[in-house]
Structure 1
Amino acid sequence: MNIFIVGYGIILPGLLGSQAPWVVILLFALITQLGDVWFLFLLSGVLYVGGEYVPYMGIDRRRGVFIIGLVLTYVALIGVLKSVLLLPRPPGATDPPPLRWIPSIFADLFIIITTAKGPGFPSGHALGATMVWGGLALVIDRGSYRVRFGIAGVVVTLVSLSRLVLGVHYFVDVLAGIILGIVVLGILYWLAENETHPERVLLTAVVIGSVGLFVNLTFESVVAIGGAVGGWIVWRTAAEAIPNQPSTRREVIVALFVGVIATGIFGAVYILDVPYLFTFLGTAIAVGTAVGAPIISKWLS
């Protein structure tokens, strides 16, 4: 395989979306979602409300808040870095691959998940996957460290590779995202004192997002600040009342239902082009609702 150097980055042309087989494009379009914001928020929310009832990945509520904080810090950080560095994506990153066997109802969604626009360095998907999946490897009690970090490494590698396969990042973008993700995760884990003080991670997201507001007002900064503020307020107010683990399956089901509503609000804000004030309020409500879901579920159960 030939390697091309274009601008500041390395392109592996045989992996570009326009040249890869269609079935490979479809496969990696699905894999790349493992590092997308919507999925990471949904995953962290499910683990938070589900607790030990989540097979193989169950964690307590305090660790769940730590993971939610990682997601929000990632969103804040990537918003600041990309708005400051302003390094381009590979040529053709905004061009969708051929739509084969994709029903017309899913065509727009397929285009969204296989293309990208705006600055490309570092890769947000690589950064987010490294922070969140690496964070899960740190806080999950089940299995050995080798197995947990091995699984996290496979996920991060596949997500990073998917960005190359889809042709939306240079190799240096994903490499920088992984390295930065490892460094930031280590700092946040230390700051939270081994996840025992997850509110500090939420405050970190607020601080980084606030820097983003002064550097260059971005959607990501507003999302991160709103979500972190909402989650921090609810956690600081009700942490003592939130059970560390759910007591019944019914409580889990109700809490998951509340969490799905919160995720829907978060997703709607993330997709729809709404004023920043509504973005802030929407994400604050979404994350605050997710963090408060265990209490809401006890009221409703």
Structure 2
Amino acid sequence: MFSGQQHPVLDPEILEAIVEAIPEWLGVLLVPTTYIGSVFVIVPLIILAYWWAPDRFGVWIPAFFAYYGLMASIKSLNSATRPDIDPAVGPELFPAIFSTWYGHATAISSTSFPSGNAMVPAVIIGLMIVDLRISTLARRALVGGFAIAFVGFTRLGLGVHYPIDVVGGIALGLAVLGVVLLCRRHFEDGVTAVFALAIALAFASVWLRSGGTGVPTWEGIQGSNRVLALGGAVGGLLAWQWGERSTWQFTTPRLGTVASFAGVLAVVGVTYAIHLSITHPLVSMLWAGVVFAGVIVIPHVVPTRDDVLVPLGVTSA
């Protein structure tokens, strides 16, 4: 789609003008803020939200995998290079302990289009706007829209994306959000539908990474996060289906609940140990599947406040 050293849509001078206009105080703020669109923030956020209210936020996890699959697939279809522009601020303004975080935010080598950090907030913050019960929908949309736009702006200020990458990322994220909301509205089990979409997109990203002309080769996907996305989506779907069909009745009271929770942690731990010792993509896929199957199951095997209080004759109200 794109190739060569020059971005096909925008001239580097436009981005240079944006970066040079950013004052130092704002440049310092851009570095931590850009992590709102990072997996280091998004993944813990969607997991904790799901654990807090599995029924209300169940679609957030497969929505993330759908985003990642689409983003990675599009990156495989183009070779648009990153801007050769210094960030608005240098690492000397940050404590040494944050040097790794600064480097991760500003030194990126993947394909430029689209901006994943701009795309994923459009999906997840978009879901927050729809699903949260804080204030009014209009106010949530106003705050959420500003957050999405500002995270996108951080990618420009740090000199790691062209404007078209950010605009395209936000547009693609909103498209994913729209499909997710349609699935939830028109399918009886919207979570399963979004998981199926996520698996299809994650598989496409793996296939394209491997060449996109035949059966994916292990060498072509060695060390790729796409493998983790595919494994996580498959594991999450299997756990969700198992839970729905059994109405989440996994355990008996007390000891059964404790044993189930311990069992989930043990299986995750064992597969992680195998993942560290065997770097084959299939093992990585298996580990990711087990981890996200555990993520899906855990809120249904850990006692809730009502599980503890009601037998004692105490209501949580």
Question: With structure 2 as the length reference, what TM-score do the two structures score?
Answer: 0.74
- TM superposition shift of 1:14: 3.8
1:183 and 2:175 matched:
yes
Q: Could you tell which deviates more after superposition, 121-130 or 288-297?
A: 288-297
User: Which position in structure 1 is the counterpart of 2:9?
Assistant: 8
Q: Deviations over 1:157-215 (max 9, x none)?
A: 11100000100000000101111111221122112326852111111111111122222
> Across the two proteins, how many residue pairs are aligned to each other?
268
Q: Matched residues in 1 for 2:297 and 2:163: separation?
A: 40
Question: Mean Cα displacement is larger for which, 111-120 or 161-170?
Answer: 111-120
Q: Does the 8 Å contact 2:7/2:81 carry over to 1? A: no
- After superposition, where does 1:59-208 map in structure 2 within 5 Å? 61-92=54-85, 98-193=90-185, 196-208=189-201
Residue by residue over 1:130-170, the C-alpha shift from the partner in whole angstroms, topping out at 9 and shown as x without a partner, is 01111221222343221121121011011100000100000
Alignment of 1:272-291 (within 5 A): 274-291=279-296
Alignment gaps of 5+ in structure 2: 1-5, 211-220, 250-256, 309-317
Does 1 or 2 have the higher relative contact order (CA < 8 Å, sep 6+)? 1
Equivalences for 1:241-280 in 2 at 5 Å?
Answer: 241-242=247-248, 274-280=279-285
Query: 2: CA distance between counterparts of 1:173 and 1:115?
Result: 16
* Alpha carbons 1:242, 1:295 under 8 Å: kept: yes
Q: Work out the CA distance in 1 between the residues paired with 2:124 and 2:183.
A: 16
RMSD: 3.4
- Does the Cα contact within 8 Å between 1:34 and 1:159 map onto a contact in 2? yes
Pair 15,275 (structure 1): closer, same or farther in 2 beyond 3 Å: farther
Alignment of 1:48 with 2:26, yes or no, is no
Distance 2:90 2:70 in 1: 33
Corresponding position: 1:211 with 2:214: no
Deviation at 1:222? 1.3
Q: Report the CA distance between 1:6 and its aligned residue.
A: 5.5
> Could you tell me which amino acid in structure 2 is paired with residue 236 of structure 1?
Q
Task: Rate the CA distance shift 1:123–1:101 in 2: closer, same or farther, 3 A.
Answer: closer
Residue 15 of structure 1 contacts residue 166 of structure 1 at CA under 8 Å; is this kept in 2?
no
Query: Which one has the largest radius of gyration?
Result: 2
Structure 1 unaligned residues grouped into runs of 5+: 52-60, 244-250
Identity %: 23
Moved runs in structure 1, 4+ residues, more than 6 A? none
TM-score (ref. length: structure 1): 0.77
> Aligned ranges for residues 218-257 of structure 1 at < 5 Å?
218=221, 219-239=224-244, 241-242=247-248
What SS does structure 2 have at the residue aligned with 1:113? helix
Superposition deviation, residue 22 in structure 1: 4.5
Task: Give 1:38 shift.
Answer: 2.5
Partners of 1:116 and 1:143 in 2: CA distance: 37
Please give the secondary structure, in 1, of the residue aligned with 2:119. helix
With over 3 angstroms needed to count, the CA separation of the structure-2 counterparts of 1:275 and 1:103, relative to structure 1, is: farther
The answer to whether the 8 A contact 2:75-2:113 is kept is: yes
Query: Equivalent residue for 2:303?
Result: 298
Question: In 2, are the aligned partners of 1:45 and 1:64 still within 8 Å (CA)?
Answer: no
**Deviation readout 1:45-101 (Å, 9 max, x if unpaired):** 1111123xxxxxxxxx123220111111111111100011221111147x8952224
Q: Secondary structure at the match of 1:297?
A: coil
Matches of 2:173 and 2:297 in 1, distance apart? 28
